Amino acid sequence: MNAAACYFVNGMESETSAIARGLRRRDPDLLDRLIEQYQHRLLRYLVYLTSNRELAEDMFQETWIRVLERGHQYNPKYEFSTWLFSIARNLTVDYLRKKKPASLDGLLDAEEGVSLDPPDLRPSPLDLLAQHEQAERISAALVGIAAEYREAIVLRFQEGLALEEIAAVTGAPLGTIKSRLYRGLNALLPRLKGAQA
């Protein structure tokens, strides 16, 4: 490993170690800072995972409460965002299981076409019309594909997580993640083309 890479890895480790220490102490200032730092990424993930803004906001709050309660379980060897997303995912899956007797994956099986409300993305009123339309087109296309594909695509392409990190968040093997990305993209691209036409 070269010097720059060493510096980067050590820097990341010291940051995650500081987070782990703060979480063990249940430091409220650290949690405030983390909430602010990860607010958009976490909410975006939850909005796409649940396809429901209100539910996503509820899960957002519950996720941070769970982070506070289980902070001692965070392993600083891993990125904080990976752990955060996996907590959010588990809470959402548990909630959906209680609501409907099936897992997230089972509920939203790929080609069954389970109807979902498009996510309310609440774009700023100042957004350009074109951007608004594009956002709606993307959201509609994403909602139309299976939740596990959507989740993999959002984590990979929007949140920029590595394949291994997505596997850690979802608890699925790496091969499954690759397959979900491939199938998800294959399901998505024709929908986007169709919407553009």
- Using rule CB under 8 A, residue 83 touches other proteins: no
- Residue 49 CA: distances (Å) to CA of 44, 63, 100, 121: 8, 14, 16, 13
Q: Which residue in 11, 123, 171, 194 binds other proteins (CB under 8 A)?
A: 123
Residue linked to tokens 């590595």:
162
For the bound state, the minimum distance from the C-beta of residue 179 to other proteins, rounded and expressed in Å, comes to 8
For the bound state, the minimum distance from the C-beta of residue 68 to other proteins, rounded and expressed in Å, comes to 5
Q: Which residue in 110, 172, 185, 195 binds other proteins (CB under 8 A)?
A: 185
- Residue 125 CA: distances (Å) to CA of 25, 129, 132: 41, 9, 9
**Number of residues written out for the chain:** 197
- Using rule CB under 8 A, residue 181 touches other proteins: yes
Sign, Cα dihedral of 67, 72, 73, 77: positive
Closer to other proteins at the Cβ: 90 or 139? 139
Count of beta carbons in the 10 Å neighbourhood of residue 66: 17
**What 3-state class would DSSP assign to 39?**
helix
Closer to other proteins at the Cβ: 13 or 127? 127
Query: Mask 31-60, x = binds other proteins (CB under 8 A)?
Result: xx--xx--xx-xxx--xx--------x--x
Closer to other proteins at the Cβ: 96 or 181? 181
Q: Return the exposure string of 72-96: e unless at least 16 CB atoms fall within 10 Å of the residue's CB, then b.
A: eebebeebbbbbbbbbbbebbbebb
Q: Which residues bind other proteins (CB under 8 A)?
A: 26, 28, 31-32, 35-36, 39-40, 42-44, 47-48, 57, 60-61, 64-65, 68-70, 119, 121-124, 127, 131, 134-135, 137-139, 153-154, 156-158, 162-163, 178, 181-182, 184-186, 188-189, 192-193
